[in-house]
Structure 1
């Protein structure tokens, strides 16, 4: 082969190699940056007791591209048969006529959340993305796309239901929108090691008051960073029920008809909220009750059913009807935070919460008996 042709051939090979590397970088998730202050406070208050999330593993060598109109499910099944890989959703509107079943070792990635839109069709009544309790799903990444519902029926945007014996694990959502789903935007149950980064979960929950933008139930090891859970239609911004080892930093909830954040029930503990902004909630911004989830209409003050070991650091809880109403919450701290709400800023019933360098415009009320609880704040909300 002439020397010039050899050089051209080598150049082509180099360009192909660089193109493959660039493509892999586009499909790869980015690690979440956790501020050093968070680590410092965790060490000071909890020593080394907090357990952080594990990141998913990615197989980026096998890639299937899907254009609008082509089957996303077929592509996922082909990737699954290869032991994992990437389903790359090209820009445009992908209309969903049936639930997409997600599988292990999958990276489902679009070209950007303003470019790759997955839109629920009017005839589809089920969830957009779904994982049932069997088989166990691990190492799943969803990034750079929008999953949009129609507010019709009672459908979840993303529904993941695991089992205690084999929980789903290492699930990451990065740079995605999940909007306008009639039930939860995202509902994850019995799933461990969840990462949500730079995501918007908004305008979900039009089907009823029990539906929220994000609903975690019996989950462990959660990292949320720079997520916006504002404007739930009927429910809450984010509900953490029976969740342990949660770090939520730089998140936002605005304008809810009910509560902003609810954290409750057994196994709820080690919850760290850093630079969380909650405003415009018609009820309580931070609602931490102590009911038995399975007997919630019978009032109890048992700490077993309330979150323990909670830290609020540099949080802004403003312009809500009530700021924080907590019952039987212990071993907890409010640090460097600002409260300025219409009624009580912080109401604590039989709690052990230490305040450090925080301000309360409407006061910090301590209750020793349920009869002192404000009558216009329902015991069971």
Structure 2
């Protein structure tokens, strides 16, 4: 599809050019279709007022790999905020880093400014201390930005277990068996909790220990132009290899490319009015554990490899998860389920301009075709640049 070519070009364009998620975008009333009132809510997704353009925030400090990153964050936060500019190089992260309100971490070059996480953590499933370790943690903060960086888990010298060939045969070891080579890899790369109006833009998340990036109970977040590939821990019931939002609302995911992790997830009570737009997923989009519904996935490629364990859309499992919420809509997505065209392997290829919905009940197909005509403006995500 043409928009994928555009998506591939976006990271190389100057950031002075406006794109989805930037400041200055408003709801396009001319495309509003009153049959779908959620359109007005979806237009509110993302950072309120948009991600600030790169040239509008002051650089307060410039660092090299020899400098203390946490001290710089604390100092800039005390000054009221601003950008910490990280020069090219490898920054070794051996203990958790805490981001604070109004602080933006920006790399000189996405591929050459590398935050190498070398921490380890054992996970005891039946212990009172079940928290994973988080390399970069952001709690109860706002206006925090991560820009033009690579986050790379590098605590071991072997690769995550997965497949490089999209059509490789299914193997239960990838998602359903423990990582036995090293049992101390329960380390998330980046987690936001109870945050607002923050963003992650043009970053790489590579070889995560567990989750590459998660938004927990957040509001008005934007994740844009990021690339995620691989995770070590992604087996059943061990909370690994997820990217997405848990209990969060009004979050915008745009032009994200994700592969070789467990799920992209919209889940847990409170998750509503999130927009996933023009993303490229080689993982399933999973609605489970009772989101609040009213989420939108539009114009995405969702293609689970043959070796993956789920169809393009997942909804969890009866007796293990709570069912998805209502009015989760799917529109004009290109979908392949384990190598077969369609939202699942039984329903056939998705029809263009047809409205699909995620089921709210177990025991039925995970997606169904609604009888509605498409929205009159040709999209559910109706935004435009402010004149």
The answer to whether structure 1 residue 190 and structure 2 residue 217 are counterparts is yes
Contact 1:156 1:183 (C-alpha < 8 Å) held by counterparts: yes
The answer to whether structure 1 residue 336 and structure 2 residue 353 are counterparts is yes
Q: Distance in 2 between matches of 1:206 and 1:71?
A: 29
The answer to whether structure 1 residue 270 and structure 2 residue 277 are counterparts is no
Counting matched residue pairs gives 298
SS at match of 1:170: coil
TM-score by length of 2: 0.66
Q: Displacement, 1:40?
A: 3.4
Q: Distance in 2 between matches of 1:74 and 1:155?
A: 22
Q: Distance in 2 between matches of 1:151 and 1:43?
A: 52
Q: Distance in 1 between matches of 2:315 and 2:28?
A: 25
**Residue of 48, 52, 64 corresponding to 2:45:** 52
The answer to whether structure 1 residue 320 and structure 2 residue 324 are counterparts is no
Q: Displacement, 1:121?
A: 2.4
Q: Distance in 2 between matches of 1:105 and 1:288?
A: 36
Superposed, 1:109-128 pairs within 5 Å as 109-121=106-118, 126-128=133-135
Q: Alpha carbon RMSD of aligned pairs, Å?
A: 3.8
Q: Distance in 2 between matches of 1:86 and 1:27?
A: 17
Q: Displacement, 1:353?
A: 4.5
Check 1:241–1:277 CA distance in 2 against 1; reply closer, same or farther (3 A cut).
farther
Q: Distance in 2 between matches of 1:43 and 1:205?
A: 45
Higher-Rg member (1/2): 1
Per-residue CA deviation, residues 100-120 of structure 1 (Å, 9 max, x unaligned), is: 100000111001211211111
Q: Displacement, 1:231?
A: 1.1
**Residue of 190, 196, 199 corresponding to 1:158:** 190
Per-residue CA deviation, residues 19-61 of structure 1 (Å, 9 max, x unaligned), is: xxxxxx9799965378999983765522634443323669823
Q: Displacement, 1:186?
A: 0.8
Q: Displacement, 1:239?
A: 4.4
Q: Distance in 1 between matches of 2:228 and 2:247?
A: 20
Which one has the bigger strand percentage? 1
- Partner of residue 250, structure 2: 221
Q: Distance in 1 between matches of 2:325 and 2:367?
A: 11
Q: Displacement, 1:247?
A: 1.0
Q: Displacement, 1:208?
A: 2.9
Q: Distance in 2 between matches of 1:26 and 1:123?
A: 36
Check 1:351–1:101 CA distance in 2 against 1; reply closer, same or farther (3 A cut).
closer
Check 1:27–1:86 CA distance in 2 against 1; reply closer, same or farther (3 A cut).
farther
Q: Comparing both chains, which one has the higher relative contact order based on Cα–Cα distances under 8 Å and sequence gaps of 6 or more?
A: 2
Mark the runs of 5 or more structure 2 residues left unpaired by the alignment: 1-13, 123-132, 157-184, 345-349, 357-362, 375-387
Check 1:335–1:38 CA distance in 2 against 1; reply closer, same or farther (3 A cut).
farther
Q: Displacement, 1:128?
A: 2.1
Check 1:283–1:267 CA distance in 2 against 1; reply closer, same or farther (3 A cut).
closer
- Partner of residue 381, structure 2: none
The answer to whether structure 1 residue 250 and structure 2 residue 266 are counterparts is no
Further displaced range: 315-324 or 55-64: 55-64
